[in-house]
Each structure stands twice: as C-alpha cells, then as structure tokens.
Amino acid sequence: MSYDFDLFVIGAGSGGIATARRAAEYGAKVAIAEFSSLGGTCVNRGCIPKKLMVYASHFPDLFSEAVGYGWSEVKSTLDWQKMITSVNNEVKRLNAIYERMLANSNVTVFQGHATFVDTHTVVVGETSVTSDKILIAVGGEPTKPDIPGIEHTIVSDQFFQLPEQPKRMVILGSGYIACEFACIMKGLGSQVTQIFRADHILRGFDEDLRLTIQEEMEKEGIKMLSGHQLTGIEKTEEGLKLHLEGAKDVIFADAISLAALGRKPKLEGLNLENIGVKVEKGAIWVDEYSRTSVENIYAVGDCTDRINLTPVAINEGRAFADTEFGNKPRLMSHENVPSAIFTIPEAATVGLTEAQAREKYGDNIKIYRTKFRPMYYVLPEKDKKTMMKLVVNSETNKVLGAHLVGDHAGEIIQGVAIAVKMGATKADFDATVGIHPSVAEEFVTMR
C-alpha cells in the first residue's frame, strides 16, 4: 500500500524533532505535526527559559560574595520585565532555529492538532494524511488538584509570562520543578514559601541529597511548610489566602501563586482508544523498542512516562529511527541516566540511591560520603555546604550510584556518569588522579 509519508511524527518537541530529522537523514519521507511552538516544553516552557532564570537568580549571591574577595559592595536591582523579555526572545530565536533545521532536513511541518482516524491515518485540521509508521511524541502537561480556588494559581508552563515579579510567592509541591522555582524566585528577591504534604522534598532521590538540599534551601531563607495539605485558596484584599489543614499560621501570597504538583502525559484528543493503542496508568504503553500495542505506531518521551527528561526523549527517538529506518537496531538503555536539579545549591545524581541499592543488594553495600564547605565560600564567610556520596557494591566494588549537592553539580556528574555507565569500580575512582584544588576531586579521594 502507498502512503503519503514513511513516518509521521505527532509532536514537535525535542524528542519528536530529533526523531524526524534522524529518520529523514536515512532517506525517509517524514512529516511532523505541532499545535504550538516548535521545541515543545523544554524549549518553550521548561528547561531553556528556566535555566536562563536560574542564571539570573545567581547574581545577588555573586555580588555579595565578591565583597569577601575585595570588591566594593554592589547595589543593583532587578528589571523583571527586561529579564522576562530577554528570556522569551531567546526562546523565539530557538523556535526559528528548529524551523530551519526541519526545513533543511526536508521534513514537512503541519501546524495544528493531529488526531488518529485509523492506524495509518491522521487528520490535522482539515487535512488527512497517511503514513506507514506513526510516532507519538506529545509530551506531558502540568496537573492541578481539585481544590477550591485552584483557578487562582498558575502552573509552571505559565511562569515565564508573568508581567511583574510577585513579592510574596507560594510554591505548591515538593518535586524538582517546585524546588527549582522556589530557589529562582528567592534568588530574584521574592519572599518564598514552599508547601508540601511529605516530610521532605524530592521524593525518589537519595535521602542524603534530599536532606542536604532542603537544609540549604532553608538557609537561603525559603520557608518550608512540610506535612501540610492545601484545602482551599481564597482571593482577598490582602492577596491570595491559603487554607492549610492543621496549619497555625495564615499564609498569604500575591495575586499569583504557583502550582507545581506534577505532570501527566498529554493524550487528550489523539483518539487512541479508537485505534487500539494501549494506555496504562494514563501513559502510553510501549515495549523496549518504543513500539505501542499497535505494530506500526510508536511513542517516545514523557507521554510514555518512563524517564521524563529531554535527553531521554531524544535518545529514545533516535534509537527508534536508527532501528526502523537506518538498519541499525539498538535499544535505549534507561539505566544509569544522570539528572540534575537546578536549585540553590544545585544537585545532580546518577545510578542507584542508597535505598535502591540496599533493596537490590541487601547488606552488600558500602557508602562513601563527605560534607564540607567549598574553598570558594571561605573568604565570603558563607556557611554553604557541599555533599558528595558514592554507593558501592561491597562484593564487586562496582560504583552503583553517585550523588552531589553543590555548585556546578550537573557539570561534574556528567563526567562521573560516563564512569558509572561503563561499570567503573571504586578502585577505578581511587586510581584516578584528582584535579586540585577542586570540588570534583573529592569523588576520587573519598575513603
């Protein structure tokens, strides 16, 4: 049977675009559909604008720390509108780059929502298109709980459109997105309160990492209200009044509050139920080759709810394209995937947490841990701590996990991740000469 395209991609986020371009490199006739801006969540409403604001939030600390090194005191104020405009201009620049890359790869772009008609046909607007293979890469979207007054909050996607800086900011949630925005806003000068139901932030991460970040965030002046359930939000003359179960204090925020309470796959409107694509727990079920329950339909990225990270979606998509169009069958490994949390201080991790390692290997685990004040903070006389940790299998001496809280954590863990991915042992770490003086050298000197 003849089709309009060899591959039709639904969703032009990082994973979808990477897949479309890789398949086109192999000679496939490819199209992609996107209802919003090219680049998806990462470029438009996530990684890129967020990281730019992280950079912006660091300057007040840099100004104050410079005094310890002999520089005169700096008096500076933030122009919120200028910052937001600059951030969004960079996003627009990246959108244009993606548009050019797709054009140069001869990928046809359809603007609009794509809906399945059958297993080989989709409709975008009023245009019907057929394809031999179809890839779903629609990503995810923020969720809001059903709480009275929740309509007064914004989700993380809307954060970069705030017309002015809230003076009093409440962050709802304890995941990495909530923690990152709490640190951004505190660094930019807002009064920040973070509210969550758990005892500690960052569930699922290593316990030492969680506790260290929470302790350091509280040192920065972020008020943490743990173990509290939000029951309602009321708009008053004093601002947004938050009702918390069991709370003694009354919490007020400015006209804007942020809900960062999780994300879910964005599957509405795809018509998956009528073509037999299996959905489990709100996500598209896929096998190890990213194939859905329908033979010619595949899915990658956050809509499959495996590991919801941009580089993972990109790698999943390229592995699919290599396998199906490049005659280079390969699997995307979801083991030892590094990740970073851009809080203040930053954190990064790769491999197993201590709890995961003990569950898998029992008592055959040895922990190497250190916590110290980096040399950079000695002259500014700041009590900022770095925490580093290795989780090692005591039988094989293999490093199972590495965890770091401290400046430039993501940059450091990226290199360590290569060693962990290759199966390095603690002896391999010990045999590596450290770069002195540096924080990173502690990973090869811990005893």
Cα 312 to its chain centre, rounded Å, is: 11
Q: Residue 409 corresponds to which amino acid? A: A
Banded pLDDT at 259 (limits 50, 70, 90) = confident
How far CA 102 is from CA of 19, 179, 369, in Å, comes to 11, 35, 47
| Over residues 359-365, mean pLDDT | 98
| Over residues 262-268, mean pLDDT | 93
How much is the pLDDT for 232? 93
CA angle, 385 then 48 then 338, to 5°: 55
Distance CA 63, CA 82 (A): 19
pLDDT digit string, tens, across residues 171-211: 999 999 999 999 999 999 999 999 999 999 999 999 999 99
Domain boundaries, the chain: 5-142+264-325, 150-261, 339-444
Residue closest to 139 by CA, chosen among 161, 157, 158, 120: 157
Q: Residue 83 corresponds to which amino acid? A: M
Q: Which CATH class is domain 339-444?
A: alpha beta
Q: Exactly one of 58, 113, 243, 436 is catalytic; name it.
A: 436
In this structure, of 119-123, 191-195, 213-217, 259-263, the range with the lowest mean pLDDT score is 259-263
436 catalytic per annotation:
yes
CATH superfamily ID and name for 5-142+264-325: FAD/NAD(P)-binding domain (3.50.50.60)
Q: Which CATH class is domain 150-261?
A: alpha beta
Q: Indicate whether 306 pLDDT > 90.
A: yes
| Equal CATH topology for 5-142+264-325 and 339-444 | no
